[in-house]
Structure 1
Amino acid sequence: MKSLMNSKFNGTLKVPGDKSITHRALMFGALAAGTTRIHYPLTSEDTHRTLECMCALGAEVEQKEGEWVVTSPGAAQLHAPAKTLYTGNSGTTTRLLTGLIAGLGLAAEIEGDESIAKRPMDRIQRPLAEMGADISLKDEKYPPIIIRPSRLSPISYTMPMASAQVKSAILLAALYTEGTTVIHEPSPSRNHTEIMLEQFGADISAEDGVIRLKGGNALSASDVTVPGDISSAAFPIVLAVLKPGSSITVENVSLNSTRSGILDVLEMMGADVRVEQTSSEGEAIGTVHASHTPNLKGFDISGDIIPRLIDEIPIIALLAAYSTEACTVRDADELRYKETDRIRAVIDELSKFGISFTEYEDGFTVHPGQVSIEENTPVKGYNDHRIIMMLIISSIISDTPIEIDDVSAIDISYPGFMEDLEKLRKEA
């Protein structure tokens, strides 16, 4: 990391493929009879867990350079796994897989790593149980998840909070029911599942926060092109905005409006960021140009915008530390149940750099002040990829090396992160 100190960062890059879209493409490819080609998938620990689970159910996945080829006999020919399905650190795999297997009427046990073992799964168990699923959890809340075969029925379900994972688990389970399942969202959450289900031929509609899916229609194999992940792009974008003399362009990145909340925050702050949409067919895709911007304004975000940037809040907290005004995030209590308690982790680690917070149960306020990092300050990454990358960016901006206990979790979402930063430095 020391080689990145005292540098400017300039150039163009493409970040790894979108993790959420890669997960879903593997699952829908496994459910659809025939061959699905996934172009530019994210090759990471999380997506490999989904790949392995789909193979355990009877699909085949050939991994080529820049392409994964999923060949499946179709949903009706998939089978119960021979052993426990291991989802590693992936909450998306764990929750969506539960809905998928319940919908297929198969028996399975699902477990993940120590982080997944602490993440609540009752939020998917409840609506799936309403559909007739037979699912058991440890202490009625946590993995391992035990699924027993049962016949499901469609439901009308009002989401207690916006959650793409819960919504997607219900939709996957509803694919093989007789009738129409209706989901009411209190606010928009990422809609990759709805977009891809339509692409694969499902009878689905979404309008004004109401999603309707008619079950009983077989999915058709379809090729998927995975754009760059806006959650990964957030790190070089914020680096460019905060690092004097820097200007970075991220190409071929997802601009899906249910995921692009960080771009709205940057606009609120007056950051020099320009967005160009290059494709609107299916997933919106485009280019983001970001340059150093002094005297950033504050922001106060809550409500509907939070699901649109929930994964970017750690790097948004760092962005807020360089604002000339107070910055507040509320309604983000879901962060308490991510890979770690991200609210607590952000506050504990950034406070070591002199950054002042007021903590709330559902968020925090970052108060304006001076960021001051002492060389080789020891910090914790919590085995959380987004916390680790945020800490690396903070070190680069301050030109001060820090000691992160373990950076290996970066590979969960952004393999090659350090190499990309080095490439931008060399082009400065």
Structure 2
Amino acid sequence: MDTEAVQGREYRPRVIDGALQRALRTAGAVVIEGARASGKTMTALHAAGSHVFLDDDEMGLLASVAPKSLLDGPSPRLLDEWTNAPVLWNLVRRSVDASPATGRFILTGSAVPADEVTRHTGAGRFLRLRQRTMSWWEKLDEPSGAVSLASLFAGEKPAADLGAGIELEAIVGNLLRPGFPAMTELAPDDAADLLRGYIDDVTRADIRRIADIRHEPAVLQQLIASLARAVASPVSHRTLASDMRSIAPTIDAETVGRYVGLLERLFVIESQQAWAPKLRSRATVRVSSKMHLVDPALAAVALRAGPERLMGDLQTLGFLFESAVVHDLTVLASGLRGEVKHYQDSYGNEIDAVVTLPDGRWGAVEVKLGGAQLPKGIESLARAVAQIETESEQEPSFRLVVTGTGPILVADDGTVTAPLSALAP
């Protein structure tokens, strides 16, 4: 469908497009879930044959009196923000059951419904896709795309490019450029204003739409700031509660855990699960998850970290950069049906990102902000991979060190190095 004719904006291709087409060929209905403003409507509309917007008052009224009529239209039929009319779930399910045709409906939503039993009735009929904010490859005006994730899994090595890295100022600029499609072209100050408004809307309205909250928005904003401070690191609910007691003296870990769960339902935060392979040594695998905000630029705004602060605080910049790499790998891996986890063992070995595919292939990724840290990154990655029992897990398809300022190279041991700005699907 012509998105410019419907929404007034030309569609910008996304990594999820291929996955959506595969899903429509496979299932009767596809559900696209993700944070508000991440581009779900545009992605779905681009693939749709007809549409209805359930956040429109007139359509909401129609949903209350004649919901079946909303299913009528050329396929795929987009039911945008279907959670505003939950009755549509079972109506779509029954319609899919009544026909062998695939690709009949696309449903989009910005929050996971509380009624998990209702959602599970879609088993075998619905496929779910996660829409994330734009990766650097998607949002930058001229991404090089010199290092393809799919090619790395195929065993291909990129051509060397000693000048592929970008300057630190450009890295900061790219980090602070939001991946929310409507914000990518805004001036930095304007984008920051909108991101502050985004956090305000989440804590004042969105989270209260799905649950009863007794704390004020300022407490939830403090939680988001605390999560931003701990981004790309394991953090407990107890630690978060302690960090929040300056503004909420009696808050406990259980309450914080509930609020974290609500933010996950809104897709504002996403956990990076631990990878637990068999090991050669007696080390034990750490199983704590790492938390990431939906977009690194949102984390920076939550921390009140603008360009000047980040240029002068390389530690904070490093954590945000690691989160950006994990975010982008997650987006790129989704096109391969892959996931991104992390590895840490009791001997102190770590792999910042482990990209796993359904067929058992995996790749190990270390993140280093500066190109000067490449030797250390290559060494630590080799040490961590050596702990893995490769008879059960296979040898890694690739070892990759992602930097900000470094070159594209293939080290003597086969490790690939590349800047984040060069990564592509």
* Greater share of residues in helix: 2
TM-score, with length taken from structure 1: 0.26
* Greater share of residues in strand: 1
